[in-house]
Amino acid sequence: MASSLRSLVNDDSRYQKSFQIFLERSSEHQCLRDFIHNKLPAILASIGDGKSHLNIIGVGSGAGEIDLEMLSELHKKHPEVTVDNEVVEPSCQQINNYKVLVSQKPDLDYVNFHWNTMTASEFEEHWKAEKITKKVDFIHMIQMLYYVKDPEATVRFFQSLLGKNGKLLIILVSGESGWGRLWRTYKTELCNPEISQCVTTGDIKSFLDSKGMSYQSFELPSQMDITECFTEGDEKGELLLDFLTEVLDFSNTASPELRAGVLEMLRHPDCSVESNGKVIFNNNLEAIILDQLS
């Protein structure tokens, strides 16, 4: 990343504000819910190998809304089963939001929550330091591989924890999404070299293919209204631009040339469609399912 540009992840407060606008302007959570309620149940039905107790890890769980929907689907498929649920999330605010959500749900007595306010890397170090040997039945990593140094190593570690019939679910933006196009064009200017910010499912599938590893994948269509990004000084537009570029205060810290180039790219037909005066960005996601390492 150019030295004058700071990563949005360095300012948790602004990141959370930007993320909230992103959720309001995108169909991301809806497309995740469609996947969880329509495709995931069949996958969850095959885990556990008849056990009465399941171990689950959520990596980058955020405020927990999506986690709890997955737990609900799991409970429908395995109603007699108890669950140990390791929540891995570095943001204290998000962990607190998750705890509040759990406290408001009366039907979660089958779940024992373990709160880990840490990054995926810190959790891996903790797991290895404690020499934990238990096997895990279901691990989900939704929209979090952007924030690790080495996505391949992270995937390999968590896959190594799977027990018999265990499943690892990875969801990221699709390589064919507007994000993929934006990052391919401006990776050196925008992407933080300390993390793998510009990773897509295309990168993960290339790695898996190179190792001859089998996986299932599902396209999750999603879009985002980015019209406000093109009104200079619009507060929500500026927050969205920060989120799209992952740069803190992008409009005021990027060079005029970079800002103009990014805005032009966001409008490009490879990234967005324009309809009824609105600019609609291709926010497609993709889900990848991996089995236990053979």
Annotated binding-site ranges: 28, 283
Rounded CA separation 73/86 (Å): 17
Is 287 within 8 Å of 204 (Cβ atoms)?
A: no
Is 197 within 8 Å of 246 (Cβ atoms)?
A: yes
Place of tokens 């150019």: 2
Instruction: Check residue 269 and give left, alpha or beta (phi > 0: left; psi -120 to 50: alpha).
Output: alpha
At 25, give phi and psi (nearest 5°): -95, -10
Tokens for 82, please give them.
Answer: 């108890």
What is the CB neighbour count within 10 angstroms for residue 276? 6
Residue numbers in the known binding site for substrate are 28, 283
Exposure pattern of 223-235 as b/e (b: 16+ CB <10 Å)? bbbbbbbeeeeee
Is 26 within 8 Å of 224 (Cβ atoms)?
A: yes
